[in-house]
Structure 1
Amino acid sequence: MTAAHPPAAGAVQVSARGWGWRHAGRKAFAARHLDLDIGPGERVLLLGASGAGKSTVLHGLAGVLGAQDEGEQEGGLLLDGVPPAAARGRAGLVLQDPETQVVLARVGDEVAFAAENLAVPREEIWQRVGRALDDVGLDLPLYHPTTALSGGQKQRLALASVLAMEPGLLLLDEPTANLDPDGVLEVRDAVVRVLERTGATLVVVEHRVAVWADVVDRVIVLDAGGGVLADGSPAGILGHEATRAGLAHAGVWVPGRRPPLGGPVPGAGGGPLLSARSLTVARTKRGPAAVEDIDLRVHEAEALGITGPNGAGKSTAALTLGGLLRPRAGRVDAAPSLAGAAGSDPFRWRSAQLVQRIGTVFQEPEHQFLTASVGEELEFGPRRVSGTADPRRITELAERLRLTHLLKANPFTLSGGEKRRLSVATMLATAPRLLILDEPTFGQDAGTWAELVTLLRELIDDGVAVVSVTHDADFIAALGGRTLHIADGAGRLVAR
């Protein structure tokens, strides 16, 4: 298939013949039996169910498999006729977790880093840096510390760093997953502008198809069992009802189709569990306040969504409510029904007291992993609390969140969606009364999204309070409850 856009002389051609990769210590291949050709300058949307191998394919194209972990490769994967590892600099990869991609302390240095490694002339580097930051809408001084960025801002920074390389092959793994709705369109349009300017080849992985369907030439769907499930134009793949139904059955997000949900619709909530009064929160001890004067109550059997633009302080507010950050001012108090004998201030609770009362799922799943296998990870919290883990509870969680076949796998070898489900499961294993989730639907296909929503609705019906930091409007609608919208340093409660 040829590109619908004129390729630049430096645009990369991709070919795969029977290609596959198996991570060390895993019985199953992460991706297998892949045969495809992508022409120079083509724009490809790569789809598939969670765990189908999409990220593995991108890592293979970037030439980083084997460098980051050992494994077994079969078949061939080539960029312009040579193995990806021999074509370093020709491909630029934006990782699924931008946190792992930030290297340097200042925004400007971070964006310049990859271009410097490619020996781009100094005067040209800083022109590229300014252009890339403008493209992604990251309006910050070059000396701004990267540690002070929100998750969404780090995602923009990672993209800007790769765009400044001006690679012949641009590889994007869920590039808009943690962005607010305006940011999603800004980043997509930034990518299109760069492609128009450079003529580079694009392979983008994204579960939400509608964002990219109008700007790509081709859609390739990976089969969870290996190989390619579908391959064609966006209209050909997404425009026919029989094909759409087959993709939906396979777990692929299809525009206009929302997966069916189970579990009871959450009600109005019960008694109070946690309250915030005149609460001011900050990301760091000495940094500026992120949000001021938050007043709210979280009730049992209630869903509370926290929304707002990237960098507004949503995650900081959630971590403070969860007892993991000290309030800058004001108070967070747990009701006696939640606190028991631990005292009313969650920040003063010991870790074992906290984990069985308030479970927090971080925006970056890897920050929670402490053991060498999925099974051990699920058992860690209960063993920390009571010295033992109920095998029935572990089995139930693994089954509900589709992790059973991964119990012996190293958590760091999972796909992004699998890591997210594991991070949720580890918190549920200790049966907390209040669950705080930061971007809980990141990386989920339609099937696992529906299973997660169904599970959370059942928990809410059982009296658990669920607080979610999210940009996923469908997720908020499915759980109901109230919304705390944070913007311009303030939070506003909205009833739904």
Structure 2
Amino acid sequence: MPSPDSGTPAVVRPAAISAQGWGWRHAGRTTQAIHALDLDIRPGERVLLLGPSGAGKSTLLHALAGVLGEEGDDADETGSLLVDGVSPKAQRGRAGLMQQDPETQVVLSRLGDDVAFGAENLCVPREEIWKRVHEALDDVGLLRSAGGSASGNFALDHPTSALSGGQKQRLALAGILAMRPGLILLDEPTANLDPAGVLEVRDAVGRCLDKTGATLVVVEHRVSVWKDLVDRIVVLQPGSSSSKGGSTPAVLLDGDPDTVLAQARDMLTAAGVWVPGYVPSTRPRSGTGSGSGAGPESAGELLLGTQELAVSRERPRRRGFKTIPPLPVQSGLDAEVLAGQALTITGPNGAGKSTFALTLAGLLAPVSGTVTAAVGLSDGAGNDPFKWKAQQLISRIGTVFQEPEHQFVTGRVLDELMFGPKHLGHGEDRVDELLERLRLGHLVDANPYTLSGGEKRRLSVATVLAAHPRVLVLDEPTFGQDANTWAELASFLSELLDAGTSVVSVTHDQEFSSVLGGTEMRLEPAFQGGARQEAGAA
């Protein structure tokens, strides 16, 4: 993707993919993450990879990028997987991989430097690198002018640490586009983006493919976003070798998008695929707010409130004898969290949604204003959640981060679920229920870091629920979920709401917001004229 005046054609050599009986078992797992994969992808093809959570989609992408890991340490590979007839590990850099967690792909402290990093490692000439950097950032909507920021777009020296999760997703994509790989691998590239950002990123990928002719394999649960950009859909299914030597093949369906969607709609929905126009049924809210943990008299009770709250992830700075407060990303925030009711925080990427949620949850100190816990929630711990001890906080307000790995502390799923109850002195009565309801029972002995993105998200939710908090704060809780696990999670949260738990969600998922109901609080970027919140039925 050169700049218009470079005169250099942007064509790359597209990659070919071949898999024959390929499978991979992660260390510490008894079954393979993906098994008996037979698949051929021609150079320049654009493939949408679908399947339920845990079908091995991310494992396949990591293997194609040559970063899955080495055999040994109890990991095991079967069959063959080749890119251009060679093992992917022997030609790293041929493929560009965007992982589910963009946080792990940020390398350098400045926007432009981070995008240039991959191209520099491929020994692209310096003058060509910066042409690619400008165009890649422009394509993903992060750069529009040479200085300052406007409408959510930034200068080359903008700090990467100041980007939101969705903006880091765009940054990771820009770094891949600047490398011009022959194989582009995208793992849930639009999961944390606002609706406008989803279209912007998809169109940026389309422009790159049109210019370069690269091969594309994209994993995304929602078909409608990518259907018109790809020319083939491959659906994977979970499976493993049987004790009798037989196996379930990894590929369930394979064909052009219209044929696959028209002929196998029922099969796809049963497998949890988000086909266009399909929304799975969920448990309806009772609307009473009564149940275990909260009687009818507590429904609607105020648990948390904010008054003229200003929030930032930056810390105050010392200058001589003065303390310089950080510049708030949002200010003037007034909100109420009520027992048995949902509060949904929406708005474009970079509006400060996650920062507000973390401050509400007592994990960040307010820049100004207050977060006040009512007596019914504080229960003698004081009215400022930020001053609570860790044990006091997790038993009252449970937080699920945008990046699930940030809250894992053990090496086994079952230990992860039991960690909170053990340290709080609670019983472990809820663990078995959580394993069943969130479809994690078959993973009790697995290392949490080897789970799929959707499984990690469900485990992070389960670990918080195991501590029985009265308030849940969830950042993008439906990220990476297939339709079936999405419905189970939404239904479970509806039950908790009816039982008197408060659920605060940061989300771009309108269907999820509709299931939970309650109040929507919309934030607008502060640089667009100040914060704006809209309260109403979600």
Aligned length: 486
Letter in 2 for 1:447: N
Letter in 1 for 2:424: V
CA distance in 1, matches of 2:489, 2:285: 13
Contact 1:23–1:69 (8 Å) recurs in 2: no
CA distance in 2, matches of 1:411, 1:330: 38
Q: Secondary structure at the match of 2:123?
A: coil
CA distance in 2, matches of 1:152, 1:478: 23
Letter in 2 for 1:472: D
1:63 to 38, 62, 66: 66
Letter in 2 for 1:453: A
- Cα distance change on mapping 1:69 and 1:145 into 2, 3 Å: farther
* Residue 439 (structure 2) aligns with: 402
* Residue 4 (structure 1) aligns with: none
CA distance in 1, matches of 2:358, 2:423: 21
Within 5 Å, give how 1:187-202 maps onto structure 2: 187-202=201-216
1:223 is the counterpart of 2:227: no
* Residue 15 (structure 2) aligns with: 12
* Residue 278 (structure 1) aligns with: 308
1:186 is the counterpart of 2:200: yes
CA distance in 2, matches of 1:342, 1:151: 32
Q: Secondary structure at the match of 2:497?
A: helix
* Residue 149 (structure 2) aligns with: none
Letter in 1 for 2:278: R
Q: Secondary structure at the match of 1:211?
A: helix
1:115 is the counterpart of 2:119: yes
For the aligned residue pairs, the C-alpha RMSD in angstroms reads 1.4
Contact 1:8–1:41 (8 Å) recurs in 2: no
2:88 to 71, 74, 84: 84
1:262 is the counterpart of 2:283: yes
Letter in 1 for 2:161: T
CA distance in 2, matches of 1:327, 1:208: 37
Q: TM-score, normalised by structure 2?
A: 0.89
Shift of 1:382: 1.1
Deviation string 1:207-246 (CA, Å, 9 cap, x unpaired) is: 0110000110000000112410000011001123xx1001
Deviation string 1:144-164 (CA, Å, 9 cap, x unpaired) is: 111111100100000001111
1:373 is the counterpart of 2:412: yes
1:494 is the counterpart of 2:535: yes
Letter in 1 for 2:536: A
CA distance in 2, matches of 1:491, 1:56: 41
Range that drifts further, 167-176 or 276-285: 276-285
Contact 1:267–1:302 (8 Å) recurs in 2: no
1:127 is the counterpart of 2:166: no
CA distance in 2, matches of 1:399, 1:491: 40
* Residue 472 (structure 2) aligns with: 435
* Residue 303 (structure 1) aligns with: 342
Contact 1:266–1:481 (8 Å) recurs in 2: no
Gaps of 5+ in 1: 1-6
Gaps of 5+ in 2: 1-9, 143-152, 240-248, 290-298, 317-325
Range that drifts further, 364-373 or 220-229: 220-229
CA distance in 1, matches of 2:438, 2:374: 31
Q: Secondary structure at the match of 2:523?
A: strand
Between the two proteins, what is the percent identity of the paired residues?
61
Shift of 1:389: 3.9
Letter in 2 for 1:245: D
CA distance in 1, matches of 2:186, 2:159: 24
Letter in 1 for 2:168: K
CA distance in 2, matches of 1:68, 1:472: 39
Q: TM-score, normalised by structure 1?
A: 0.96
Shift of 1:422: 0.3
1:337 to 352, 362, 376: 376
CA distance in 2, matches of 1:424, 1:132: 35
1:96 is the counterpart of 2:117: no
Shift of 1:266: 4.1
Shift of 1:9: 5.7
Shift of 1:264: 2.7
Contact 2:306–2:369 (8 Å) recurs in 1: yes
Which one has the largest radius of gyration? 2
